[in-house]
Structure 1
Amino acid sequence: MPNLQKQLIFSVGGVLSFSCVLVVAAAMGTQFWVQGNILCTTGADLVNATGQELDQFIGKFNYGLFQGQTVKQCGLGGRTFRFSFFPNLVEVIPVGLHVTVLFFCGVLILFSSVATGFFMYNGFGSPYETLHGPLGLYLWNFICCFCSCLVMILFASELKLHRLSDCIANFNEGTFVYKTYTEHFDHSFWLIFLTFLVHSLNIILIRMAGIRFPFQETKELDVNTGAADLMY
């Protein structure tokens, strides 16, 4: 492949990797990872609310990795509650799992930055073998794909298995009991999935630049070595 075309492909890969850094950092700072509705079961059971009456007992919530807010309704109008995970909800959430999600988000930002530098280095510098050459390009992007998958899996398990929304809704509530009515992942969560797709696209771009996968090169090397041994 001509050098100019390879530089263009690596430049595109570098820009995509740097955009992942910005996207993940922006997603971590927002409170739009999850949104949904909560039902005040205490109030609804007291008046045996059904149909349109039930709407008076349904509030809403949205939150991210650091903060969020809920609007609670128990028939007397909305009551807004804004919170931060640290230090407000430390006692009611699975702290270890939540910190692990934050950790892998940080790792994703770090290795996306590393991938950006290595794309530019391979495109305009004089790369040599091992981690500075093709192996490094594949390695950093595979790590980014792996970290983005871990972030989504861990956060989804925190949400579904540990009933994170219920824990938040019932924080500091002594009289009323709230239950998650509906919930779904918001756009900041899907930005992490977009990051996974971008790094997967980067791996395809590396292959389009004429760089074979590391295991393919190793296989060919073993074949050539075996042929040379037979000759002697």
Structure 2
Amino acid sequence: MPSRQKKVIFCIAGLLSFGCALSVAVAIGTQFWVKGTILCKTGAQLVNATGPELDKFVGEISYGLFHGQRVKQCGLGGRPFQFSFFPDLLEAIPASIHVSVILFSAVVIIFSLVAAAFFMYNAFGNPYETLHGPLGLYLWNFISCSCGCLVMILFASEVKLHRLSEKIANYKEGNFVYKTHSEEFDRSFWIILFCFTVHFLNILLIRVSGIQFPFQESKETDTSTGAADLMY
């Protein structure tokens, strides 16, 4: 591929990686990872609420990685409450998984910035082999892609398997029991999926630019070396 087209591809991939870093950084600080509704089970059972009456006992909840908000509905009107995971909810949530989600999100930001820098370096600089050259481009994007996938898997397991919304709603609730009524991932979670897709596409762009995958290059090098040994 001509060098000008390769520069254009690397510049586009670099801008996409930089955009991913900014998007994930913004997503981490928001509370728009999960939104849903919480049913006050105790209150609904006390009055035998069904149909439209049940709406009086359905509150709302939304949260991110650090803080969130819930609205209690127990038949007496909504009561909003703000909460934070650190240090308030560490006893109630699976803390190891939650901290891992935050750490892997930070890794996505760091290596997205590294990938963006190396794309620009390969476009306008004089890269040499090893991590500054094609191998580095594949490596940084693969790390970002893998960590983005881990963030989604760990957070989804925390929410769905460990029933994170119910644990938040029932934290220090002595008189009422809350149950998840509806739940869905919000836009900040889908930003992680978008960034995962972008880094995967970046790997394809590197291949389209004419750079072989690292394991393909090693095979070709071994073959050529073996032929040279036979000649001599």
For 1:113, the equivalent position in structure 2 comes to 113
For 1:95, the equivalent position in structure 2 comes to 95
| Alpha-carbon offset, residue 5 of structure 1 | 1.3
For 2:38, the equivalent position in structure 1 comes to 38
Q: Distance in 2 between matches of 1:7 and 1:226?
A: 34
For 1:176, the equivalent position in structure 2 comes to 176
Pair 1:209 & 2:216 matched:
no
Q: Distance in 1 between matches of 2:69 and 2:87?
A: 15
Structure 1 consecutive aligned stretches of length 4 or more whose deviation exceeds 6 Å: none
Give a deviation string over 1:53-81, Cα, whole Å, max 9, x none. Answer: 11111111100001100111011111111
SS of the aligned residue for 1:195 comes to helix
Q: Distance in 1 between matches of 2:96 and 2:107?
A: 16
SS of the aligned residue for 2:35 comes to strand
For normalisation by structure 1, the TM-score amounts to 0.98
Q: Distance in 2 between matches of 1:181 and 1:115?
A: 41
SS of the aligned residue for 2:93 comes to coil
Q: Distance in 2 between matches of 1:227 and 1:123?
A: 33
SS of the aligned residue for 2:69 comes to strand
Pair 1:127 & 2:123 matched:
no
For 2:48, the aligned partner's letter is: N
Q: Distance in 2 between matches of 1:199 and 1:110?
A: 13
For 2:62, the equivalent position in structure 1 comes to 62
| Alpha-carbon offset, residue 230 of structure 1 | 2.9
Q: Distance in 2 between matches of 1:36 and 1:216?
A: 47
Residue correspondence of structure 1 range 124-203 to structure 2 within 5 A: 124-203=124-203
Give a deviation string over 1:137-187, Cα, whole Å, max 9, x none. Answer: 000000000000000011111111211101110122111110111111111
Give a deviation string over 1:27-75, Cα, whole Å, max 9, x none. Answer: 1011010001100000111111111111111111100001100111011
For 1:17, the equivalent position in structure 2 comes to 17
SS of the aligned residue for 2:22 comes to helix
Q: Distance in 2 between matches of 1:229 and 1:172?
A: 74
For normalisation by structure 2, the TM-score amounts to 0.98
Q: Distance in 2 between matches of 1:106 and 1:173?
A: 33
SS of the aligned residue for 1:212 comes to coil
Q: Distance in 1 between matches of 2:189 and 2:94?
A: 19
SS of the aligned residue for 1:224 comes to helix
| Alpha-carbon offset, residue 228 of structure 1 | 2.3
Q: Distance in 2 between matches of 1:226 and 1:89?
A: 61
Count of residue pairs brought into register by the alignment: 232
Give a deviation string over 1:88-124, Cα, whole Å, max 9, x none. Answer: 2111111111111100011110000100110011000
| Alpha-carbon offset, residue 229 of structure 1 | 2.8
> What is the percentage of aligned positions where both structures have the same residue?
69
For 1:227, the equivalent position in structure 2 comes to 227
RMSD over equivalenced CA pairs, Å? 0.9
For 1:146, the aligned partner's letter is: S
Q: Distance in 2 between matches of 1:74 and 1:128?
A: 65
| Alpha-carbon offset, residue 226 of structure 1 | 2.3
Pair 1:27 & 2:24 matched:
no
For 1:193, the aligned partner's letter is: L
Q: Distance in 2 between matches of 1:228 and 1:7?
A: 33
